[in-house]
């Protein structure tokens, strides 16, 4: 399941960012997608890659804004929003919107540093709107 979900996210990430998989740390990607998948209900897991695909298509413009504003060439110093530079960020964005509290709990339980996810949560929920382009 991790590989299927990562493939969906990576394909969309490549389309939005123009980066390719040679630049990614596959071990980290699998680890973070695994954490995100722990927040998908068992009854929904089999269908999750399709649901993620639909979500990413529907949010394509927003995902582009996320990359432009917070990616490596965005307005902030490199590393501040380092999760944006990883292909699994799109899975995390979907999980933030679906159940951010569960994701936050699992993230902490897995020993991940809270600040990167909190920053991503803030920019995904409040920093990718079109009103910010004005």
Angle between helices 48-58 and 2-17 (to 10 degrees): 10
Domain range for 69 is 2-128
* In-domain check, residue 134: no
pLDDT for 98: 96
| Other beta carbons less than 10 A from residue 79's beta carbon | 9
* In-domain check, residue 113: yes
Residue 64: is it exposed, middle or buried by C-beta count within 10 angstroms (0-12/13-18/19+)?
middle
Question: What would the two tokens of residue 130 be?
Answer: 């079109």
pLDDT for 134: 43
Domain count for the chain? 1
Tens-digit pLDDT string for the chain (134 aa)? 999 999 999 999 999 999 877 778 889 999 999 999 999 999 999 999 999 999 999 999 999 999 999 998 888 988 889 899 999 999 999 999 999 999 999 999 999 999 999 999 999 999 998 665 54
* In-domain check, residue 77: yes
* In-domain check, residue 8: yes
* In-domain check, residue 117: yes
* In-domain check, residue 58: yes
pLDDT for 23: 74
What is the rounded distance in angstroms from the CA atom of residue 80 to the CA atom of residue 13? Answer: 19
What is the rounded distance in angstroms from the CA atom of residue 46 to the CA atom of residue 28? Answer: 23
* In-domain check, residue 104: yes
pLDDT for 1: 94
pLDDT for 131: 60
| Other beta carbons less than 10 A from residue 11's beta carbon | 15
* In-domain check, residue 133: no
């Amino acid at each position: 399941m991790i590989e299927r979900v990562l493939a969906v996210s990576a394909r969309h990430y490549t389309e939005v960012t123009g980066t390719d998989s040679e630049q990614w740390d596959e071990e980290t990607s699998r680890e973070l997608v695994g954490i995100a998948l722990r927040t998908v209900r068992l009854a929904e897991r089999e269908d999750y890659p399709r649901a993620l695909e639909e979500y990413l298509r529907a949010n394509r413009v927003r995902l582009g804004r996320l990359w432009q504003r917070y990616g490596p060439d965005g307005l902030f110093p490199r590393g501040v929003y380092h999760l944006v530079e990883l292909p699994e960020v799109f899975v995390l964005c979907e999980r933030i919107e679906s159940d951010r509290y569960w994701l936050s709990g699992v993230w902490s339980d897995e020993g991940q540093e809270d600040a990167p996810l909190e920053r991503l949560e803030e920019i995904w929920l409040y920093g990718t709107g079109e009103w910010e382009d004005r």
